[in-house]
Amino acid sequence: MIASILKYLRANGEQLDADIALALNIPMAQLKTHVAHLSNSGDVICCKVTRFIEGKKIEGISCRLSCDLPAPARGRKPGAKKDPNADKFPE
């Protein structure tokens, strides 16, 4: 069962515990036990989250692989703009 949880997270990225339990068709209590074991071994990173979807409060545990980093955002990156006159020395 642990291997199927890891495989699911590899394929789908970060997921809520309720979504994982629904997709893998396992009871929530059993999933929490497996996720706690994976978290203790360092394979999975978990954190408690609260999301509001259509005004409905959803609390759960968000899980992702420990080696899975989010992809960098596309486009220009925020930061200070270089002053074109900064390289010139005053005379």
Segments making up each domain of the chain, as ranges: 2-65
Q: Is the pLDDT of residue 68 over 80?
A: no
What confidence tens digit (pLDDT) does each residue in 7-58 have? 999 899 889 999 999 999 999 999 999 999 999 998 999 999 998 989 999 8
DSSP 75: S
Exposed e or buried b per residue across 40-66, where buried means at least 16 C-beta atoms within 10 angstroms of its C-beta: eeebbebeeeeeeeeeeeeebbebbee
**Average pLDDT of 53-75?**
82
How many residues does this entry show for the chain? 91
Cα-based distances in Å from 87 to 27, 78, 83, 84: 64, 22, 8, 7
Cα-based distances in Å from 37 to 13, 19, 76: 19, 18, 40
CATH of domain 2-65: 1.10.10.10
